[in-house]
A and B are shown apart, each in its own frame.
Chain A
Amino acid sequence: MPVSASAIYFLNLRGDVLINRLYRDDVGGNMVDAFRMHIMQTKELGTCPVRQIGGCSFFYMRISNVYIVIVVSSNANVACAFKFVVEAVALFKSYFGGAFDEDAIRNNFVLIYELLDEIMDFGYPQNLSPEILKLYITQEGVRSPFSSKPSDKPVPNATLQVTGAVGWRREGLVYKKNEVFLDIVESVNLLMSSKGSVLRCDVTGKILMKCFLSGMPDLKLGLNDKIGLEKESQLKSRPTKSGKTIELDDVTFHQCVNLTRFNSEKTVSFVPPDGEFELMKYRITEGVNLPFRVLPTIKELGRTRIEVNVKVKSVFGAKMFALGVVIKIPVPKQTAKTSFQVTSGRAKYNAAIDCLVWKIRKFPGQTEPTMSAEVELISTMAEKKSWTRPPIQMEFQCIMHCRSLVNFIHNSASETTSCPPLCVIVVLHLLPKPDELDEELVPMFTASGLRVRFLKVWEKSGYNTVEWVRYITKAGSYEVRC
C-alpha cells in the first residue's frame, strides 16, 4: 500500500507539538506522547529512524531544531514517507524564503496547515511542486511573485495545472531576455587509507539549472558522456569524435525529464520548471581526478606528546587554484598545548571539535604546503584506552583557472544558492557551440571531466536564448585515515 502517513507531527526539541495533522483514523491522537516517551526521552533517539511502539510505527527526521514525525499503523511505504518529508520541507522553505525552523513554523502555522491539506490526502502524497502550489495557495506576509491580490480569487486554470501532465510549469510566462544558467557542481568523495591507497573514490555531481524562459520551451541537453555520444554517432551514422568521454555510473533526473526517451535515445529532453531546480544527479567512479593528496604522519611520542606532519599536494594545473581549503586533523581530547609551523595559510587548535584546523584561503595548483605541529597532552592515569584516530577531513570550495576570473561577470547569477560563499565574483562562460568544444576553451577543473556539449531550446515563438554554464568542484566527504 503506498500510503505513507496516518498522521504527521512537527515537534520542537522539547517535544512540544508545533503542528499536527491527522490524515487517517487508525492512529490515536495521543500517539505523539508515545513518541515523546519511548523515543525522544530515551537514548534510542539516534539509533534508528523507523521505530515501532505498540501497534504504530514512527518515522522521524530532524531538520534544524524540529522533529518531523510520521505515524502509521499499516504496512506503509517508508521510502515514500521519508521522501515526502524531504520534499515537503523543501516546499516550506521555498514558501518561507529559505529558513525552516521552529520560529518559521510558528509564524506560518496557518499556511502550513493549508499546505498539508493540499499536498497529502488520506495519507497519499499529491502534487508538491512549489511552482504550482504558489498559484493558488498564498498567504499575506509571504512573498509570492504571482499574487499581489488576496487569495480568494484563484488563478482560473490552477486546478488544471496541478493535475496536468506538466505539473511543474505554469503557462503564459514571459521574459524579455531568455536566459538559462547551468551549474555543474561536483562533490569529490574520497576515502584514503593511512598508507595512501585509495579505498573509495567517487564524484557525485548535480546539474543545477536556473531558467528564465518564456512560454513552454522544450530543452535538450548534451553531455560528453560515453553512452550518449555513442548513441548519437550511431543515430547520425558517423564515427565518434575522439576526445574525452565520461562514463556515468548512474544518473537520476528531475521529474520533468522524459525517462522513456532517455532510455531509448539517451538524450536528456525536458520542459523545465520556471526558476531554479536540480535537473539531474550523477555518479562517476572511473577516472576521477583527485585535486588533492594528503600525506599525514602522526607520531605518538610517549604518553604526552604527539608530533603531526601533514603535507597537502595540489595535483591540478599550476594556473588554477582552489579556494577555502580547510584541513581538519584530529587530536586527542586531552590536548593541552599546541604549536604550529605552516608554509602557507594559518593553523589553530579547535578544542570544540578536537581538531587542528589548517586553513588556506587560496591554494594554487602544483604546490605542496606543509604543516608541522607539536601537541602536548595532559597526562592522565584514567585514560587507559588508546586514542582511536578519526580520519583527517578536508574541505575545499571551488577550483578555477586564474584567467577565468577576468572573463565574464554576470551579476544576476549571484543569487544562486549553490554559489559557494567565498566565491563573491561569479565566473560564467557562454556555452560554446557544439563544434567549438575544446578542452582549452573551458579552463575550469572538474573532477570527472564531464562537460556540457550543448543545450538546445525550442519554443514555438522561436526566440533566442543565452546559455551560461559554470563548473564547480567541491569536497564531499574527503577523508584520509591516519
Chain B
Amino acid sequence: MSGHDSKYFSTTKKGEIPELKEELNSQYKDKRKDAVKKVIAAMTVGKDVSSLFTDVVNCMQTENLELKKLVYLYLINYAKSQPDLAILAVNTFVKDSQDPNPLIRALAVRTMGCIRVDKITEYLCDPLQRCLKDDDPYVRKTAAICVAKLFDINAELVEDRGFLDSLKDLISDNNPMVVANAVAALAEIQENSSRPIFEITGHTLSKLLTALNECTEWGQVFILDALSKYKAADAREAENIVERVTPRLQHANCAVVLSAVKMILQQMELITSTDVVRNLCKKMAPPLVTLLSAEPEIQYVALRNINLIVQRRPTILAHEIKVFFCKYNDPIYVKMEKLEIMIKLASDRNIDQVLLEFKEYATEVDVDFVRKAVRAIGRCAIKLERAAERCISVLLELIKIKVNYVVQEAIIVIKDIFRRYPNTYESIIATLCESLDTLDEPEAKASMIWIIGEYAERIDNADELLESFLESFPEEPAQVQLQLLTATVKLFLKKPTEGPQQMIQVVLNNATVETDNPDLRDRAYIYWRLLSTDPEAAKDVVLAEKPVITDDSNQLDPSLLDELLANIATLSSVYHKPPEAFVTRVKTTAQRIEEDDYPNGSEQGYSDATSQVADGAASPPTSSSSSPYTATRQSAPPAAAPAPAPQVPDLLGDLMGLDNSGAIVPADQPAAPSSPPLPVLLPASTGQGLQISAQLTRQDGQIFYSLLFENNSQIPLDGFMIQFNKNTFGLAAAGPLQVPQLQPGTSAMSLLPMVLFQNISAGPPSSLMQIAVKNNQQPVWYFNDKMAVNVLFTEDGRMERGSFLETWRSLPDSNEILKEFPGIVVSNPEATLDRLAASNMFFIAKRKHVNQDVFYFSAKIPQGVPILIELTTVIGNPGVKCAIKTPNPDMAPLFFEAVETLLKA
C-alpha cells in the first residue's frame, strides 16, 4: 500500500559522501536512482550534500521522469551555492523544454524559474517565450507563473523581453487555469512594481468574472483577490459585480468564501440602496457562520476576520451571537477570539444570555480565559447602560466564589464601571472591601485604592483602609504608589481631620524624599504645592469631575479598518496590522519605509493608551503612565483661580515648613532650546502639518531624545504617543511622551528619557532608528533617525595607559578596522581633545610618527564594551586615518560614524 522510502534515511556511517559519489556514478540505472534518493534524504535532514553537485547533475539526462524530478529538486536547493556548475544543467533544461511530453516541458520551465542563478536566467528567456505560446494548457499555466518568478529575479529582463504582454494575452486564454495563473502572476508583479502594469478595466473584470465559474477553487481565489482591488464606477456597476460574486459564498473552500466576502464588502461601500445592502448582509451571514465548523486553525482566521467585519457592519451577525458561544473543547485561541466577538455583538436584547455565558466561562480552568471573561462582563457594563446593574450583580456573584484571580479581575473592571457610572453603585463597596486582604496584583490593588479614594466620604473607615496599605508604601509597585498618593490626597481633601493629615504627611514624605521614581515624585510635589498654596484649588483639581469613559478598547481606527477589510483573508487581517507593518520586502522601484514589527504591536500599544491619555491626572487608577502635569487641559486649571481661600486653614504650609515661594522645579523640565536646531525628521509636508525634529542627546550620564513638535496644521493636536522599533542597541522610551495639547501654530519641546537594551533587533548593527509617533487626530507617522552612537559613550570610558595597552594587545588583529576621513582637518588639537573628552571619548596618549601625529583614545558603550581608537593625522592638513579596535568589530562602522561626527563638530 505505501512506500518504503524510509530505508534511504538510514546511513552507513563510514564515509557517506564518497560512497554516494560512487553509487551516483554506477553503471546501473537502479543504483543511480537509489543514490539520488539517498542524496535527497540527506538533504532533507539538513546534511550538506552540495559537494555531490556534478555527480547528481550527471544523472539528469534520463528518460525516467521520477529520477529527473529528484535531480531537479536537488538543483533547486543547491544551484545557488554552485552557480558555476549549475550551468552544466542548462543544456538539459533547454532540451527538456522542447520535449514532446508536455509534462516534461512544463517541468523544465518550472524548475528553471526556481533556480536563481543569473547565468541560468539568461537561458530561461527563450524557452519561456516558447512555453507561453505552447499548445498545451498545462505548459502555458506553468509558464505564466514562471514569468512572476523571473520578475522576482530580474524585473528589467521581464519588461525588456515583452513577457508582460504575453502574460496579459493569457488573460484571454481559453483555458481557465491558464487565466487564473496569469492573473495571479500579474497581480504579484503589480504589487512589486510602482508602474501600472495590470490595471483592471471594466472589460477584463467582466471577462474574469465569467472565467470564475470554470476555475478550480484556487484559481477562483486568485481571481477574486485580484479583482477586489477594482473600484467600480458607480452603485449600479457595484451591484452588478456583487451579484456575480455572491454565488461563490456557497463554495466549500473557505478561502474562496473569504475572498468573495472581501470583494462584496469592498463593493458594498459604493452601493447606496439600503435594501440591497441589507440583503447582502443577510446573504453573507450564513457562510461566515459555516466557517466556524471548519478546522480550528481556519476558525481562528475566520474569527479574526469576523472581528473586523462586525466593526464595519455590525448588522451582519447581530442575530448570530449564539454561534460564538465557546465550546468546552475549543482551543484557547478560538475561545479568546469568540469572546471578543461576543462583546462586540452584545446588545440590550441578548445581554442576559451573554452574561450567563460569561459567568460560565469565568469558572473554567484556563486562567487567561477566565480573566478575559470577567473583563468582558465589565466591558459590557460600560457599553450597555441598561445592563450595567445586571453585570455588577454577576460580578458580585463571581467575587463570592472567592477564586483569587477572579476577584482581582472583577475589582479592576468594577473600578471602570464606577468611572463610567459615578455615584450609582457604591452600595457594593462593602462587599469589595471584604476581599481587600487577598489582593496581591498591582492593578487590582491600585483599582481598589482608587475606589476607596474616590468614595472616601462614604466609606466610614476609609482612613483605616488606606492606612493599612501605607505601611508597605515603599515596597509597592509604582502603579500602587501613585494611586495611594492620589487616594490619600482625596481622602484628606474630603475629610481634613487629624488622621488623614498625618497620613498625608507620611505619604508625601515617602513619595518625595524617599523615592527615586520621577513620576511619583513629581506628582507628589504638585499635590504638596497645591495643598500648601491653595487647598480650594487643589480640591478643584483633584476632585474635578472626570470625563466619561467609553469602551473603545480593541476598536480599530476607521482608516486602519478600511485597509484591513481590503486585506481580508490575508495575514494583515489576522494580525490586525497594515501589511507594511510586518512585510519587510520593498518594492523593486518605488521607495517604501521599511519597518519591522513594533514590539508591542501598534494595535494594543496604542489602543490601551488612548483611553488613558484622555483622562488626565486625577482619575484613572491604571494611568501610572500618564503623568499629572502634562494634562494641561484639566477642567479647572489652578492658575485660573488665583483667589486665595482663607476659609480652609493652610494646614500644610506650616506642616511641611514649605514656604510659598518654595523652589520646587519639576525634574524633567524640557531643556531650554539653546542647542543648535534639531534635524527635521518628519517635515510638515508629509506630516499633514505636523513637523517633528529630534535628536538623541546625552545629559548627566543619561540618554534623552530631544524632540520638537511644531503644529502647522489647522487643528489642535493632542494625545501624543511615541514608540521605537527594535534597534541595534535596544533604545526605547523610558516613559511616556509628555507633550501638551498643541494649538495650531504652536510648538512644544520635549525631552524624553531613554533606556537601552529594551528591544534589541537581530541582524547586523545599524544606526537606523525607526520611530512611530501618533496623536489623537492624525494617522500614525513613521520616520527614521540615525542614532549618533557617540551619545552612548559612557562617562566611565576613561582607561589607564596600562590597561589600554593591555586591552589593545589582548584583542586579535582581526578586530582592528581602519577607515579614512579624507575631508576632516584637525588644526587645534587641544580644543579637539577637550571636545572629544566632553563627549566621553577620552584621550590616552599621543606620539609622533614622521610628520604625523598619532592620538589614542578610549571610550566605552553600555554593558562595558570598550572601544580603542587610534587617530593619525597631519595637524592642519585634511585627512584623518582612524583605526578602531574593539571586541565587537561588527559594530565598527557605527563607531566610525560617531568619531566622524565628533571630529566634524
Q: Is the CB of B3 within 8 A of A113?
A: no
Annotate A70-89 by CB proximity to B: 1 below 8 A, 0 otherwise: 00111111111011101000
Q: CB of B141 within 8 A of chain A?
A: yes
* Chain B nearest Cβ from A243, distance in angstroms: 24
Closest A residue by C-beta to B601: A52
Q: Is the CB of A83 within 8 A of B253?
A: yes
Closest B residue by C-beta to A136: B103
Q: CB of A436 within 8 A of chain B?
A: no
In angstroms, Cα B221 to Cα A128, docked, is 14
In angstroms, Cα B213 to Cα A258, docked, is 7
Closest A residue by C-beta to B72: A117
A24 — which chain B residues lie within 8 A by C-beta?
Answer: 152
Q: CB of B885 within 8 A of chain A?
A: no
> What's the interface size class on A, roughly?
35 or more
Q: CB of B425 within 8 A of chain A?
A: no
Q: Looking at the complex, which of A95-103, A397-405, A452-460 is the stretch in contact with chain B?
A: A95-103
Within 8 A of A (CB), among B257-293: 257-259, 286-287, 289-290, 293
Q: Looking at the complex, which of A156-164, A304-312, A340-348 is the stretch in contact with chain B?
A: A156-164
* Chain A nearest Cβ from B754, distance in angstroms: 24
Annotate A348-370 by CB proximity to B: 1 below 8 A, 0 otherwise: 00000000000000000000000
Q: Is the CB of A78 within 8 A of B325?
A: no
Q: Is the CB of A80 within 8 A of B255?
A: yes
Q: Is the CB of B65 within 8 A of A151?
A: yes
Cβ 8 A contact of A78, one of B139, B188, B364, B570: B570
In angstroms, Cα B360 to Cα A193, docked, is 10
Q: Is the CB of A113 within 8 A of B40?
A: yes
With A17-B45, A253-B250 already in contact, the answer to whether A199 and B322 are too (CB < 8 A) is yes
Taking each of B2, B225, B298, B325, which has the highest tally of chain A beta carbons within 10 Å of its own beta carbon? B2
A64 — which chain B residues lie within 8 A by C-beta?
Answer: none
Q: Looking at the complex, which of B310-318, B326-334, B620-628, B816-824 is the stretch in contact with chain A?
A: B326-334
Q: CB of B440 within 8 A of chain A?
A: no
B323 — which chain A residues lie within 8 A by C-beta?
Answer: 200, 202
With A73-B585, A252-B252, A263-B247 already in contact, the answer to whether A283 and B286 are too (CB < 8 A) is yes
Cβ 8 A contact of B365, one of A76, A160, A388, A477: A388
Annotate B54-97 by CB proximity to A: 1 below 8 A, 0 otherwise: 00000000011110011011001100000000000000000000
* Chain A nearest Cβ from B328, distance in angstroms: 5
Q: Is the CB of A262 within 8 A of B250?
A: yes
Cβ 8 A contact of A281, one of B213, B290, B357, B585: B290
Q: CB of A126 within 8 A of chain B?
A: yes
Q: Is the CB of A110 within 8 A of B66?
A: yes
Q: CB of A385 within 8 A of chain B?
A: yes
Annotate A25-53 by CB proximity to B: 1 below 8 A, 0 otherwise: 11000000000000000000011111010
In angstroms, Cα B254 to Cα A351, docked, is 39
* Chain B nearest Cβ from A432, distance in angstroms: 27
Closest A residue by C-beta to B569: A79
- A-B contacts counted at CB < 8 A amount to 294
Q: CB of B719 within 8 A of chain A?
A: no
Annotate B576-587 by CB proximity to A: 1 below 8 A, 0 otherwise: 000100111100
Q: Looking at the complex, which of A55-63, A225-233, A440-448 is the stretch in contact with chain B?
A: A55-63
Q: Is the CB of A80 within 8 A of B69?
A: no
Q: CB of A481 within 8 A of chain B?
A: yes
Q: Looking at the complex, which of B170-178, B513-521, B780-788, B868-876 is the stretch in contact with chain A?
A: B170-178
* Chain B nearest Cβ from A267, distance in angstroms: 13
Q: Is the CB of B253 within 8 A of A1?
A: no
Q: Is the CB of A78 within 8 A of B290?
A: no
Within 8 A of A (CB), among B584-617: 584-585, 596-597
Cβ 8 A contact of A283, one of B63, B176, B290: B290
Q: CB of A292 within 8 A of chain B?
A: no
Closest A residue by C-beta to B116: A25
Q: Is the CB of A126 within 8 A of B69?
A: no
B290 — which chain A residues lie within 8 A by C-beta?
Answer: 250, 252, 281, 283
Q: Looking at the complex, which of A137-145, A176-184, A464-472 is the stretch in contact with chain B?
A: A137-145
Cβ 8 A contact of B2, one of A59, A72, A104: A104
Q: Is the CB of B184 within 8 A of A2?
A: yes
* Chain A nearest Cβ from B283, distance in angstroms: 10
Q: Is the CB of B252 within 8 A of A1?
A: no
Q: CB of B428 within 8 A of chain A?
A: no
Q: CB of A188 within 8 A of chain B?
A: no
Q: Is the CB of B44 within 8 A of A18?
A: yes
With A1-B570, A283-B286 already in contact, the answer to whether A141 and B3 are too (CB < 8 A) is yes
Q: Is the CB of A477 within 8 A of B252?
A: no
B217 — which chain A residues lie within 8 A by C-beta?
Answer: 255
A289 — which chain B residues lie within 8 A by C-beta?
Answer: none
B287 — which chain A residues lie within 8 A by C-beta?
Answer: 250, 252
Q: Looking at the complex, which of B4-12, B341-349, B674-682, B768-776 is the stretch in contact with chain A?
A: B4-12
Q: Is the CB of B252 within 8 A of A110?
A: no
Q: CB of B295 within 8 A of chain A?
A: yes
Within 8 A of B (CB), among A100-157: 103-104, 106-111, 113-114, 117, 121-122, 124-128, 136, 139-143, 151-152, 154
Q: Is the CB of A388 within 8 A of B364?
A: yes
B574 — which chain A residues lie within 8 A by C-beta?
Answer: 50, 78
Q: CB of B471 within 8 A of chain A?
A: no
A122 — which chain B residues lie within 8 A by C-beta?
Answer: 113-114, 145-146, 148-149
* Chain A nearest Cβ from B143, distance in angstroms: 11
Q: Is the CB of B298 within 8 A of A2?
A: no
In angstroms, Cα B369 to Cα A46, docked, is 14
A1 — which chain B residues lie within 8 A by C-beta?
Answer: 187-188, 191, 225, 570
In angstroms, Cα B496 to Cα A416, docked, is 84
In angstroms, Cα B184 to Cα A281, docked, is 29
* Chain A nearest Cβ from B586, distance in angstroms: 11
Cβ 8 A contact of B225, one of A2, A61, A86: A2
A3 — which chain B residues lie within 8 A by C-beta?
Answer: 188
In angstroms, Cα B8 to Cα A259, docked, is 47
Taking each of A49, A72, A167, A391, which has the highest tally of chain B beta carbons within 10 Å of its own beta carbon? A49
A389 — which chain B residues lie within 8 A by C-beta?
Answer: 363
Q: CB of A479 within 8 A of chain B?
A: yes
With A79-B569, A200-B323 already in contact, the answer to whether A163 and B3 are too (CB < 8 A) is no
A278 — which chain B residues lie within 8 A by C-beta?
Answer: 252
In angstroms, Cα B828 to Cα A426, docked, is 102
* Chain A nearest Cβ from B181, distance in angstroms: 7
Q: CB of B724 within 8 A of chain A?
A: no
Q: Is the CB of B2 within 8 A of A2?
A: no
Q: CB of A417 within 8 A of chain B?
A: no
In angstroms, Cα B142 to Cα A111, docked, is 20
Q: Is the CB of A22 within 8 A of B301?
A: no
* Chain B nearest Cβ from A257, distance in angstroms: 8
Within 8 A of B (CB), among A218-274: 249-255, 258-260, 262-263
Q: Is the CB of A159 within 8 A of B296?
A: no
* Chain A nearest Cβ from B360, distance in angstroms: 7
Cβ 8 A contact of A107, one of B3, B40, B250, B329: B3
Taking each of A76, A104, A159, which has the highest tally of chain B beta carbons within 10 Å of its own beta carbon? A159
Closest A residue by C-beta to B286: A250
Query: What 14 additional pairs, Cβ within 8 angstroms, besides A78-B573, A142-B2?
Result: A17-B46, A24-B152, A52-B575, A61-B295, A73-B583, A79-B258, A108-B5, A113-B70, A121-B110, A142-B1, A255-B217, A259-B251, A263-B246, A386-B401
A-B contact pairs, 10 of them (CB 8 A): A2-B218, A46-B331, A52-B597, A121-B142, A124-B222, A126-B177, A126-B218, A141-B2, A159-B103, A202-B323
Nearest 7 pairs of A and B residues by beta carbon: A250-B286, A159-B138, A106-B6, A75-B579, A263-B247, A80-B255, A259-B247
Chain B residues within 8 Å of A, Cβ to Cβ: 1-6, 8-9, 37, 40-41, 44-46, 63-66, 69-70, 72-73, 76-77, 101-103, 106, 110, 113-114, 116, 136-139, 141-142, 145-146, 148-149, 152, 175-178, 181, 184, 187-188, 191, 213-214, 216-218, 221-222, 225-226, 246-248, 250-255, 257-259, 286-287, 289-290, 293, 295-298, 300-302, 322-323, 325, 327-329, 331-333, 353, 356-357, 360, 363-365, 401, 403, 567, 569-575, 579, 582-585, 596-597, 762
